[in-house]
Amino acid sequence: MNVETGAPTTELATDLHWMTVARAASAIARRELSPVELTEALLKRIERLDPRLNAFIKVDAEAALQAARTAETEIKAGRSRGPLHGVPVGIKDIIDVAGLRTTGHSKVLADSPLATADAVCVGKLRQAGAIILGKLSTHEFAIGGPSHDLPWPPARNPWNTDHHPGGSSSGSGSGVAAGLFPMALGSDTGGSVRNPASCCGIVGLKPTYGLVSRRGVFPLSFTLDHIGPMTRTVEDNALMLEAIAGHDPLDPGSAAASAGHYHAALDLGVRGLRIGFVRHFHEIDMPAEPEVTASLEHVMRTLQMAGADVRDIHLPSLGEFSAVNRVILQSEAFSIHAAWLRTRPGDYGKLARRRLMSGAFFGSADYVTANKRRMEMIAAVNAALAEVDVLLCASSMDPACRIDNPAEIERTYPRQARTPFNNTGHPALAMMSGLSSSGLPLSVQFVGRYFDEAMLFRVARAWEQASGMDRKHPPIG
Amino acid sequence: MDKELMEALARRAGLDKALAEFPDDVAAAAKQAASVAGKIKVPADPRAEPWPPMKPGDGL
């Protein structure tokens, strides 16, 4: 691995398409940049690059430009909506946007009625002044993919379009990394925000369970679903979470917690922090590619040199975390899809059909046992986080493989350490740890205590600043 | 899981149409489920509580 040079990268932060949320919003607020100019620039880039990336299912250019004009008028009149005002965002297509169809990237919902209301998280983004650009590709119903037998093609990785971008929030990861938009919403049930963040070299957060409302999001698994922000920088991720977090009395899983001031503690550094390194995930449970292991060691040493106290931590095995996740996820998902699977099995792609039907073969005792074991896993992670402030571990054990190699996809997709924290509900953030010798992103994951996303951002920011990962962009043009 | 049991479970779940049209996918789904459930350690204490599926709040 060559962290510093790696593959060809572009570092032109002055290009509008590489502007961060924070920089764009600041320039817009100072009236040095027009939201219309920014939106038009991104729409042109989408028109040019998306035929290669397939990040979008639906570009809503007209509505985006109208929203940008409204934002411009508001800002000129001195009515600021805050740090997302005038900044474009993409929305994963399992999340409702009023006036657009929510397809789940599936033939099953390809002709469904248009959504009549925004999902809560989308409404909050709109309230904060964000410009909705359109709906983004996903693995079918956030579970089946990457698939080539759906009504829309799968998204591709901007670092190398022959490779997959991870999933299930595949269009979100691809588009943020390619500079089609600076932020996107994803969902994460078994790692679906953090997988594309890992494959595409961006920052993806699965917040604490219940911190972001799920209302208006097509469910995959009620007790494992999380909505999370995907951005190119840690700061932008914090800004986006501040906008979308908060209690929703109409979401039965919503936590009695309000949004924090995640942005405030970003630059406090890691001196004196205790970081637990979960080595056995990538060294024993699922031995990672050597380049992944080397990059994790590099992250660990960098944080250590910045003053963190790093120690080894042991958790239950990845294989068991994964099994618990599968039983719960597929049982709950089958209950959601059973009626369609019974009457319209041919309207699903092969991967989703197989994965969703698995839920029919679990018994009630399997489901309850998985949830009992889940409680023990929660206790184990809580005990670890009583000893340290943050956990550091692998996200993906391999860089993204070719999208046209189903055997390699089947082998590498489960080789990950993200499902543990869907099971336990702890916040977890994945980001770039370096580049492989083939020029594809490698990744690291940080995990925090419940509702302590601020600590995650603080550690992630320290790594980002030491490594310059936020300045590495794919050579997509 | 043998074929007979797999088909019985699929029919009980109402997947007759899938069984007729996509028998390989039903078999793959059953195989996937069977390979997963057995990997979970059953908590030794029979009174162990499951995760209350919707338990929001500060402590989770």
Q: Is B57's CB within 8 Å of A256's CB? A: yes
Nearest in space to A214 (alpha carbons), one of A181, A189, A236: A189
Q: What is the pLDDT of residue B53?
A: 53
A214: distance to nearest CA of chain B, Å? Answer: 12
Each residue's pLDDT tens digit in chain A (477 positions)?
A: 333 333 444 333 469 999 999 999 999 999 999 999 999 999 999 999 999 999 999 999 999 999 999 999 999 999 999 999 999 999 999 999 999 999 999 999 999 999 999 999 999 999 999 999 999 999 999 998 999 999 999 999 999 999 999 999 999 999 999 999 999 999 999 999 999 999 999 999 999 999 999 999 999 999 999 999 999 999 999 999 999 999 999 998 999 888 889 988 899 999 999 999 999 999 999 999 999 999 999 999 999 999 999 999 999 999 999 999 999 999 999 999 999 999 999 999 999 999 999 999 999 999 999 999 999 999 999 999 999 999 999 999 999 999 999 999 999 999 999 999 999 999 999 999 999 999 999 999 999 999 999 999 999 999 999 999 999 999 998
> Which of A319, A354, A369 faces B29 most closely, judged by CB atoms?
A354
Q: What is the pLDDT of residue A256?
A: 87
Q: Is B50's CB within 8 Å of A372's CB? A: yes
Please say whether the beta carbons of A451 and A404 come within 8 A.
no
Q: What percent of chain B has pLDDT over 70?
A: 85
Q: Is B40's CB within 8 Å of A324's CB? A: yes
A321: distance to nearest CA of chain B, Å? Answer: 8
Among B7, B25, B47, B49, most A C-beta atoms within 10 A, so best to mutate, is B25
List the single residue in A with minimal CA-CA distance to B52: A371
> Which of B37, B48, B58 faces A362 most closely, judged by CB atoms?
B37
Q: Is A222's CB within 8 Å of B54's CB? A: yes
Please say whether the beta carbons of A141 and A121 come within 8 A.
no
How far apart CA A191 and CA A186 sit, in angstroms, is 10
Average pLDDT, chain B: 88
Q: How many CB pairs under 8 A join A and B?
A: 135
Q: What is the pLDDT of residue A3?
A: 31
Q: Is B51's CB within 8 Å of A371's CB? A: yes
Residues of B in contact with A345 (CB under 8 A): 15, 17-18, 21-22, 25
The single residue of A106, A137, A147, A168 carrying the catalytic annotation is A168
Q: Which of the 8 DSSP states describes residue A157?
A: -
Q: What is the pLDDT of residue A14?
A: 60
* Edge-to-edge strand ranges of the sheet holding A274-277: A56-59, A131-136, A88-92, A183-188, A226-231, A203-206, A428-435, A441-447, A390-393, A274-277, A309-312
How far apart CA A301 and CA A275 sit, in angstroms, is 11
Please say whether the beta carbons of A204 and A174 come within 8 A.
no
This prediction's pTM: 0.96
Buried b or exposed e, range A56-90, using 16+ CB within 10 angstroms: bbbbbbebbbebbeebbebbeeeeebebbbbbbbb
Please say whether the beta carbons of A123 and A76 come within 8 A.
no
B3: distance to nearest CA of chain A, Å? Answer: 13
> Which of B14, B30, B37 faces A338 most closely, judged by CB atoms?
B14
The single residue of A169, A192, A213, A443 carrying the catalytic annotation is A192
Nearest in space to A59 (alpha carbons), one of A38, A35, A42: A42
**Number of C-beta neighbours around residue A271 at 10 A:** 10
Q: Is A375's CB within 8 Å of B49's CB? A: yes
The confidence band for B51, taking pLDDT boundaries of 50, 70 and 90, is confident
Indicate the burial class of A443 (C-beta count within 10 angstroms; 0-12, 13-18, 19 or more).
buried
Among A209, A358, A366, most B C-beta atoms within 10 A, so best to mutate, is A358
**Number of C-beta neighbours around residue A424 at 10 A:** 26
Q: Give the angle subtended at the CA of A232 by the CAs of A434 and A136, to the nearest 5°.
A: 115
Task: Report residue A425 as tokens.
Answer: 């509900």
Measured between its terminal Cα atoms, the distance across chain A in Å is 23
Nearest in space to A289 (alpha carbons), one of A405, A415, A410: A415
Residue indicated by tokens 């932060």: A13
The confidence band for B37, taking pLDDT boundaries of 50, 70 and 90, is confident
Bridge partners (DSSP) listed for residue A135: A58, A91
Task: Report residue A137 as tokens.
Answer: 């590709």
Please say whether the beta carbons of B36 and A419 come within 8 A.
no
What is the Cβ-side half-sphere exposure of residue B6, based on CA atoms within 13 angstroms?
19
Q: Give the angle subtended at the CA of A107 by the CAs of A104 and A108, to the nearest 5°.
A: 75
Q: How far is CA A258 from CA A80, A208, A262, A435, in A?
A: 22, 12, 12, 37
The ipTM (two decimal places) reads 0.93
For the question of residue A396 being annotated catalytic, the response is no
For the question of residue A106 being annotated catalytic, the response is no
For the question of residue A192 being annotated catalytic, the response is yes
What is the Cβ-side half-sphere exposure of residue B14, based on CA atoms within 13 angstroms?
12
- Give the helix ranges, DSSP H, for A216-289: 234-244, 279-280
Residue ranges and CATH numbers for the domains of chain A are 16-471 (3.90.1300.10)
